[in-house]
Amino acid sequence: MNIAQLIDTCVARLPVALLTAPQKIVLAYSGGVDSEILAHGLAEYAKQHPLFDYQLVHVHHGLSANANDWALHCQAQAKKYQLACTVARVKVEIAARTSVEAQARSVRYEALLAQMQPSDILMTAHHQDDQLETILLALKRGLGPKGLSAMGKVQPFDKDKWLIRPLLDLSKNDVEAYAKAKGICHIQDESNFDEKYDRNFLRRSVIPVLKQRWSAIAATASRSAELCAMQQSVVDEELAIRLPLIQCEQGGECVINLAAFAQHSKAWQALLLRGHMDALGFAPPSKVQAEQIITQLLDAKVDANIEVKLTDVLIKRFKGAGYFLPIRAAKHFSNVAVSSIDELLAAGVVYGHKKRVKATLATNSGVRFPRADEEVTIEFALPGSTRCQPQNRSKGRELKKLWQEFAVPPWMRANVPLLCYDGKLVSAIGYWDEKAFVCAENETGLNFKR
């Protein structure tokens, strides 16, 4: 068995552009037998392929009394391999109703990503038995083809990076036999024997029984995962075509056009819902949750106040659109005084969480500059009775009526930045400019955006 060759096979499947420009291969390096034989093989591969940069990253979770010794082991081994090694110290938050496994995995990947740049390659030491564990866990959770696709040898990672798993066709026995044959020393994490963790329970009490009855089950399960991945890729291609046709932007939010959504079959509605939530970064709903969401969005009475709350998302309906909002503490933005127009032109005014109002200049466009004696503020939640007159209107209307006309949901209205001179509305930023403040002909105006 040639580990360097297995690595080369994976790298060869990456886009050609990656193979012609210097990039970095980062190995998730625990020091356990799996990552140790991969580090051993990477050292040989690095000698044959000097084009890449190489880095071993050992994530120090601090959960074991032996964690410091493991870090020292990894640093010592890295010197033998002549590969750079980084020890990334992280903190795993342990709380009620949270999985230590999931939390540790989350902070581990965050630590690995912190060492990477766009187009870099992450390499992990998952093998065939790990794949079987992943498939069994997916079955336990009731996941569909995407979840059952489990892990691929080569796949995109974090949008602009790549993930490769050179050992995915090797069994655990293959890995251990290689380490013994090469005399490779490695650490043993005592938590691997604790069956309160789902993976350890499968690894120690379930998979050995399955292998005793069906010796090739890890290999056949991997083939099933590949078939699921193939089918999922076809679904993803069709989703990429259909999803934009039901999506639109409302008030800075990507929403579902419910009339267009309703034209699809029930099966495609479920797939489109999952695709939309995935695109927004939310966890996928269960089958029952998806059915509930679709029923509420499409079948509830027109005047019903729809609100479906999942772990990380709040789903609402307004004027024929489905809104998917991150669950977070309610934010009440404070009014912001603008010290000068130069401030808006240079960097903008920050408000809320990572939000910013900026101004650009244009002739015959936008609102006039404030006079020297006018106070400039960014305000929120003016009274609904405030009289407004958008620049292309012949008559004024109350602010609350304009919010309805511009299809701004009630829960978003207090978050719209309102440019004011001496407390008078000048521009509802992102929606309209007030007619009384529009710049004169051939005059340079201020155009505001967020």
Of the ranges 64-68, 130-134, 180-184, 188-192, which one carries the lowest mean pLDDT score? 188-192
Q: What are phi and psi of 349, to 5 degrees?
A: -110, 125
Mean pLDDT of 299-319: 89
Name residue, tokens 């244009």: 362
Sequence-distant (6+) residues with CB within 8 A of 84 are 54, 55, 56, 78
Of the ranges 12-16, 130-134, 161-165, 268-272, which one carries the lowest mean pLDDT score? 12-16
Model confidence at 354, pLDDT cuts 50, 70, 90, reads: low
Mean pLDDT of 179-201: 89
Q: What is the pLDDT at residue 9?
A: 94
Model confidence at 242, pLDDT cuts 50, 70, 90, reads: very high
pLDDT at 181 over 80: yes
Mean pLDDT of 429-446: 91
Sequence-distant (6+) residues with CB within 8 A of 439 are 364, 365, 366, 367, 368, 369, 445, 446
- Choose between 412 and 352: higher pLDDT: 412
Mean pLDDT of 27-40: 95
What CA–CA distances, in Å, run from 17 to 7, 14, 20, 54, 303?
A: 18, 8, 5, 18, 53
Assigned token pair, 236: 């993803």
- Choose between 144 and 437: higher pLDDT: 437
Sequence-distant (6+) residues with CB within 8 A of 117 are 24
Task: State the Cα–Cα distance between residues 430 and 417, nearest whole angstrom.
Answer: 8
Q: Which tens digits make up the pLDDT trace of 394-420?
A: 999 999 999 988 888 888 888 888 999
What CA–CA distances, in Å, run from 351 to 188, 340, 359, 430?
A: 50, 16, 14, 15
Tell me, rounded to whole angstroms, the distance of Cα 392 from its chain centroid. 40
Of the ranges 46-60, 189-203, 270-284, 310-324, which one carries the lowest mean pLDDT score? 189-203
pLDDT at 95 over 70: no
Q: What is the pLDDT at residue 421?
A: 93
pLDDT at 18 over 80: no
Mean pLDDT of 150-161: 88
Q: Which tens digits make up the pLDDT trace of 317-343?
A: 988 999 998 887 556 677 888 877 788
Closest listed residue to residue 357, CA positions, set 333, 381, 374, 373: 333
Alpha-helix runs per DSSP H in 313-354: 341-346
What CA–CA distances, in Å, run from 271 to 259, 289, 309, 364?
A: 16, 13, 19, 47
- Provide, rounded to the nearest whole percent, the portion of the chain with pLDDT above 90: 57
- Choose between 39 and 196: higher pLDDT: 39
Q: What is the pLDDT at residue 16?
A: 78
Q: At 407, which amino acid appears?
A: A
**Topology annotation, domain 251-326:** 3.30.465
Q: Give domain limits for the chain.
A: 3-213, 251-326, 336-449
Task: State the Cα–Cα distance between residues 310 and 299, nearest whole angstrom.
Answer: 19
Q: What is the pLDDT at residue 275?
A: 94
Report the DSSP pairing between strands 424-428 and 432-433. antiparallel
Domain spanning 3-213: which superfamily?
Answer: HUPs (3.40.50.620)
Model confidence at 201, pLDDT cuts 50, 70, 90, reads: very high
Q: Which residues pair with 24 in a beta bridge?
A: 53
* Structure-derived torsion over alpha carbons of residues 341, 347, 348, 352, reported in degrees to the nearest 10: -150
